[in-house]
Structure 1
Amino acid sequence: MKSIKSLWNFMKGSRTIYLFGIISIILATFFTVLTPLFIRTTIDSIIGDTPISSVYIIKIINFLGGREYLKEHLWVMGGFLISLTLLRGIFLYYKSTLSSKSSEKTAKKVRDELYDHIQKLPYEYHVKADTGELIQRCTSDVETVRKFLAVQLVEIGGSIFTLIFVSYIMFNLNVKMTMVSMIAVPIIFVFAVVFFSKVKVAFEASDVAEGKMSTVLQENLTGIRVVKAFAREKYEIGKFDEKNKNYKDLTYRLIKLLAWYWGCSDFLCMMQIGAVLIVGSLWTSRGNISLGTLVAFVSYEEMLLWPVRQMGRVLTDMGKAFVSLKRIGEIFSNPIEIMEENHEKPRIEGNVSFNNVYFEYEKNKPILNNITFDVKKGETVAILGPTGSGKSSLVYLLARLYEYKDGSITIDGIELNKIDKKWIRKNVGIVLQEPFLFAKTVKENIKLSNPMMDDRKVFEAAKVASIHKDILSFENGYETAVGERGVSLSGGQKQRIAIARTIINECPIVVFDDSLSAVDTETDISIRKSLNLRRNLSTTFIISHRISTVCEADKIIVLDKGNIVQQGTHYELLKEDGLYKRIYDIQSCPHENYEYEMNLKNA
């Protein structure tokens, strides 16, 4: 019921169109079932002498010229039957057009709402989410729902109306003949339902195999440079061949099962039609039924059997559609990030204060504990520490990507959780450790936050990021397309373009999350010199493992296991016997430290 309710909600705005589609299938079915009835009338009452019992048919016969006229001009009945077929075709066209239009509008609405919802989900959700799974739910699952609305649900409606109309007419024509015509119908229906409930496993196995094959292909294309670097082409070809063969075998097995089903169901249907022909011919020869009635029953039998044998497949596909709706609903069940637009939007200067801040991802497993420090406007703060010490988590709290559990963070004296999230993220620029560039030009990537920005600012930001000269050396300069994920650029070039993209916004607080590690030492020095010239424009946080990168900072914070173990300037920390000095010694004299460690091992 929940799936049906959600589908009904998604159809808002296209329900009327779909209703007209259903009316069209009813009318198409009505004109379809009329055809054998008029063939029977032509054989029995126009060519033959059987009286016409239906008042409505008498009126139509009189409208067409009367019985005697039609007997001499049988082409009129032929033309009337062609008209019925034409009307059936017209309404089948509208059925397909209207149901497809409605289903496409519904699918578009689902995709739009899914994309909108995913965009508004919190950062924490995306960190844990499986990207491939999200893509599948936004594409394959939505397509399954669309096909259900456009084809399968309409087929169910058409089948139900066909069964109702045909059964009603058959029972009115001859009850005994109707009973003979329906002997195999329950058997075929049960056979179809049982078969498709069992073969569903084969469907799923084929889908899973296709997914695994696609994953291998996607991974190989994404990591093609790694494959080339390690000469793993032969291995990757073999791996893909294995997945491809498995997909082929499972799909072929599915095709064989379907061929077996259609062959068996065809045999049962032919047996049923044969029974109608044999019994009907016998009763016709004895005068129990007319020849026209026999012809009508044979026609109606075919109309009756096709939807019955299709019902198993349709019910299976309906089950798939409901599973897809459930998977889509699981995304919507995740609450979106509350942006708190009624919160404050103060002018951000860049004064930052942490006071006894506590943060955890999982309960009772602190990532940051008792973090306390102050930063004045325009200062540069460096954060140093081992992997997993909480460096990135600390700066992500500044952008409210995560919410601190206890303590206080203030910006210019205002509590951070009282400042509007969108506003704070516009004023806190983060250059991530792993830069992501879109498949656009260099200029478009730098101007990502504001496409209308003046080109002069683009050039200035590129100069600060020490990428301007590199860009000019490209064949098309700033109009050079960087390719998917910036594949045409080196790691350092991608990182510097990402830095330029953040700097151009002139945020009062800028965070470099280990984003200078991908550039060489000379470029690192050049970028930091440029940043020092802008020190009055923004407060800067630099996360790095290089002493050479952090040594010129106004304040250095050393983290270890979520705690601040040291805090001060470069020269102050060198006087202390602590983690900072140990890191400095290792980076200053790597050869001596290596020999020292080897002596310890050999001792």
Structure 2
Amino acid sequence: MQPRKGRGKLIWRFLKGSKAFFILSMICSAVASLSEMIVPQIIRVTVDNVIGGEPTDSLARPVQSLLERLGGTEALRERMWIMALAVLVVAGICALARYEFRVSNAKGSERLVKTMRDTLFSHIERLPFQWHMSNHTGDIIQRCTSDIETTRNFISEQMTNLMRIGILVVLSLSFMFSMNGKMALIAMIPLPVVIGYSLFFHRKFRKGFEDCDENEGKLSAMAQENLTGVRVVRAFGRERYERDRFEKHNEYYTSLWVKMGRLMSFFWSSSDILSGLQIMLVVVFGVIFCLKGNITSGEYIAFISYNGLLVWPVRQLGRMISEMSKAGVGIDRIGYIMDAEEEKDPEGALKPPMDGDICFDHVTFAYEGSKEMLHDVSLTIPSGTTLGILGGTGSGKSTLMYLLDRLYPLPEDCGKITIGGTDISKIALEHLRGNIGIVLQEPYLFSRTLRDNLGIAVRDLGDEELSAAVRAACLEETVQAFTKGYDTFVGERGVTLSGGQKQRAAIARMLTRPTPIMIFDDSLSAVDTETDAKIRGALEKRFGSATIILISHRITTLSKADQVLVLDHGKVSQLGTPAELSEQDGLYRRIMEIQGLSSDTETTEKKEVNAV
């Protein structure tokens, strides 16, 4: 992953609502730093001028004026409690500033995380279906959790200390140079070295953190897939295989962090050595200068104090550079999601009536990186009729419906799909999908109650409407069999329900919001023939005016259709009424024979459906 541009803009966007807290925390940090700078000066004046009797000529004019107001150094020598009180007051101000820094920083940090999570979730919800199909769920979750936390830590713990570091470095060096220039230069010797090797390690850290983050995403995706598909793993006895596979990747992931640990240990240990050398140089040369009379005892004590304050920001600057590498990788991974283009309505999007004829006009389509799935498909579905779609696996049946619902956009020069004469690419997405009810091939139920799942498409769904949809989907007996009825918790992906029950629940969910266009994508495959007939009969009675599209491998399911489209390798193989196709030599008739049906059987089935 290449470093992305615009990190600052992305961070600034996420800081909406928390900038004031972080600014306040930086101001408080600055006040605390200034307070820390004053204490050594109070000690210096106490040792040299108050106790030692040194003249105050070398002190700054405001300090001299303050000492005179307090009665002079002789008066202060008799009232040493004043100097002690001054230290306590400054220390108290420093403590209050640090407290407010922590509080403001915590508030800003939590608001930042909330904004990041809300923004990312909202953005992901509006991303195209195709984007979700090309990105692992586990990796997306890792970007929305671990990478957000990394970014939060950098901003709240490192960025907010920038002002404090700057003040400590500038003021420490200023006071040190004002006391003794040679000693200050000795204290500065390690600074260029620390900054230089920190920048050198920055690149190595970035590459290491990038590898760790990417492999953590892969590990999360692997765990998510295994937890979701645990029944498949158990059914095929693949526990050992999946465990070994997970452990192998986990071992590799661990080795990456061990490698990073060694690199960071070397970085921090070398930083400790340089810091120790700096302190040793200041102490040794300070003693020598003190003995030669170049600096006073008070200046030496203050110098040691300022040097101690200088060591922390220098080390912190190195830490910031290393943490910047880690945060940069996290921000880039978050930026990858934010850079993905959301689904957008065309300019001047239309909201036409959706009860018109549906027309596929020379539609050709291929998924990205795959061979052509549909080739020159043309057909018209008259309003209020039922179209059956039959075809082998991979013949493009579901793809045709994904294109109609614009889950995948139809590229230009690949044909046109219209509803009532209006090109669907010009229709507002919310309006289009709000008027197309679709039951997908693999019904998905959320880890909520049955009522929550059935009413997800309609706000404030009434009991009467809910019961009507449940009866039409032949789910009433199932609901009554549950002790808690509609309040039954169905588990993740509806794990507590059978395949047929999940399909009927998905059908009921779609029927809670009657739409002029209804699509059933092989959604009756897991129910028995009798239930199949009942559901089709209920649909005919309740939604006779809707345009219904039935995708199925079962001929009896398609027997009530006004016309049947037969797809073969993405091309229109046959199109006509069930009666016409049963008399023609083709795929429809061959499937009839395989399923042990005849034209007489189909006619009988149709009569039975109409009688239900």
- The two structures have a TM-score, normalised by structure 1, of 0.90
CA distance in 2, matches of 1:313, 1:346: 59
CA distance in 1, matches of 2:250, 2:488: 37
The gaps in structure 2 that reach 5 residues or longer are: 598-612
Within a 5 Å distance, the mapping from 1:76-115 to structure 2 comes to: 76-115=82-121
Match of 1:373 in 2: 379
The match for 2:145 among 123, 139, 142 is 139
CA distance in 1, matches of 2:73, 2:7: 55
The match for 1:387 among 393, 396, 411 is 393
Deviation at 1:281, TM superposition (A): 1.3
- Residue type of the alignment partner of 1:23: I
Q: Do the aligned partners of residues 84 and 503 (structure 1) sit closer, same or farther apart at CA in structure 2, a change above 3 Å counting?
A: same
CA distance in 2, matches of 1:234, 1:331: 34
CA distance in 2, matches of 1:39, 1:550: 94
**Over residues 68-121 of structure 1, what are the superposed CA-to-partner deviations in whole Å (9 max), with x where a residue is unaligned?**
232122222122112212212222223333344334333333332322222222
CA distance in 2, matches of 1:293, 1:538: 92
Contact map agreement 2:290 2:297 (CA 8 A) in 1: yes
Deviation at 1:257, TM superposition (A): 4.6
Q: Do the aligned partners of residues 407 and 243 (structure 1) sit closer, same or farther apart at CA in structure 2, a change above 3 Å counting?
A: closer
Match of 1:595 in 2: none
Contact map agreement 1:206 1:247 (CA 8 A) in 2: yes
Contact map agreement 2:389 2:567 (CA 8 A) in 1: yes
CA distance in 1, matches of 2:21, 2:7: 21
Contact map agreement 1:156 1:314 (CA 8 A) in 2: no
The answer as to 2:321 corresponding to 1:306 is no
Contact map agreement 1:436 1:498 (CA 8 A) in 2: yes
Match of 2:30 in 1: 26
Deviation at 1:45, TM superposition (A): 0.8
CA distance in 2, matches of 1:422, 1:194: 52
Match of 1:51 in 2: 55
Larger deviation, residues 491-500 vs 245-254: 245-254
Q: Do the aligned partners of residues 337 and 70 (structure 1) sit closer, same or farther apart at CA in structure 2, a change above 3 Å counting?
A: same
The gaps in structure 1 that reach 5 residues or longer are: 590-603
Deviation at 1:191, TM superposition (A): 3.8
CA distance in 1, matches of 2:203, 2:594: 65
Match of 1:441 in 2: 449
Q: Do the aligned partners of residues 135 and 218 (structure 1) sit closer, same or farther apart at CA in structure 2, a change above 3 Å counting?
A: closer
Q: 2:566 aligns to what SS in structure 1?
A: strand
The answer as to 2:178 corresponding to 1:172 is yes
Contact map agreement 2:563 2:577 (CA 8 A) in 1: yes
Contact map agreement 2:209 2:325 (CA 8 A) in 1: no
Q: Do the aligned partners of residues 396 and 268 (structure 1) sit closer, same or farther apart at CA in structure 2, a change above 3 Å counting?
A: closer
The answer as to 2:224 corresponding to 1:218 is yes
- Residue type of the alignment partner of 2:583: K
Q: Do the aligned partners of residues 394 and 201 (structure 1) sit closer, same or farther apart at CA in structure 2, a change above 3 Å counting?
A: closer
Percent sequence identity over aligned pairs = 41
Match of 1:432 in 2: 440
- Residue type of the alignment partner of 2:44: R
Contact map agreement 2:386 2:562 (CA 8 A) in 1: yes
- Residue type of the alignment partner of 1:310: Q
**Over residues 495-535 of structure 1, what are the superposed CA-to-partner deviations in whole Å (9 max), with x where a residue is unaligned?**
11111000111111100111112323333223222222234
The answer as to 2:349 corresponding to 1:339 is no
The match for 1:585 among 571, 587, 593 is 593
Match of 2:471 in 1: 463
CA distance in 2, matches of 1:9, 1:525: 55
Contact map agreement 2:209 2:326 (CA 8 A) in 1: no
CA distance in 2, matches of 1:417, 1:468: 39
CA distance in 2, matches of 1:251, 1:134: 21
Contact map agreement 1:511 1:542 (CA 8 A) in 2: yes
- Residue type of the alignment partner of 1:339: D
Deviation at 1:204, TM superposition (A): 4.6
The answer as to 2:426 corresponding to 1:422 is no
Larger deviation, residues 580-589 vs 424-433: 580-589
CA distance in 2, matches of 1:325, 1:247: 21
**Over residues 569-603 of structure 1, what are the superposed CA-to-partner deviations in whole Å (9 max), with x where a residue is unaligned?**
222112111122222223329xxxxxxxxxxxxxx
The answer as to 2:589 corresponding to 1:559 is no
Larger deviation, residues 112-121 vs 244-253: 244-253
Give aligned pairs, total. Answer: 589
**Over residues 269-298 of structure 1, what are the superposed CA-to-partner deviations in whole Å (9 max), with x where a residue is unaligned?**
223212222221122122111111111111
- The two structures have a TM-score, normalised by structure 2, of 0.89
The answer as to 2:517 corresponding to 1:509 is yes
Deviation at 1:210, TM superposition (A): 4.3
CA distance in 2, matches of 1:258, 1:400: 49
The answer as to 2:320 corresponding to 1:275 is no
CA distance in 2, matches of 1:341, 1:189: 52
CA distance in 2, matches of 1:336, 1:3: 19
CA distance in 2, matches of 1:12, 1:528: 52
CA distance in 2, matches of 1:200, 1:362: 32
Match of 2:155 in 1: 149
- Residue type of the alignment partner of 2:188: M
CA distance in 1, matches of 2:133, 2:475: 30
CA distance in 1, matches of 2:248, 2:226: 14
Deviation at 1:541, TM superposition (A): 0.3
Contact map agreement 1:557 1:566 (CA 8 A) in 2: yes
Match of 1:454 in 2: 462
Q: 1:588 aligns to what SS in structure 2?
A: coil
Larger deviation, residues 310-319 vs 165-174: 310-319
CA distance in 2, matches of 1:203, 1:298: 37
The answer as to 2:485 corresponding to 1:477 is yes
Q: Do the aligned partners of residues 183 and 398 (structure 1) sit closer, same or farther apart at CA in structure 2, a change above 3 Å counting?
A: closer
CA distance in 2, matches of 1:528, 1:29: 76
CA distance in 2, matches of 1:415, 1:204: 44
Contact map agreement 2:443 2:506 (CA 8 A) in 1: yes
Larger deviation, residues 180-189 vs 290-299: 180-189
Q: Do the aligned partners of residues 258 and 401 (structure 1) sit closer, same or farther apart at CA in structure 2, a change above 3 Å counting?
A: closer
CA distance in 1, matches of 2:569, 2:481: 44
Contact map agreement 2:47 2:297 (CA 8 A) in 1: yes
Larger deviation, residues 289-298 vs 75-84: 75-84
CA distance in 2, matches of 1:333, 1:126: 14
CA distance in 1, matches of 2:347, 2:117: 26
CA distance in 2, matches of 1:185, 1:332: 38
Contact map agreement 1:341 1:420 (CA 8 A) in 2: no
Larger deviation, residues 153-162 vs 447-456: 153-162
Q: 1:68 aligns to what SS in structure 2?
A: helix
CA distance in 2, matches of 1:588, 1:60: 108
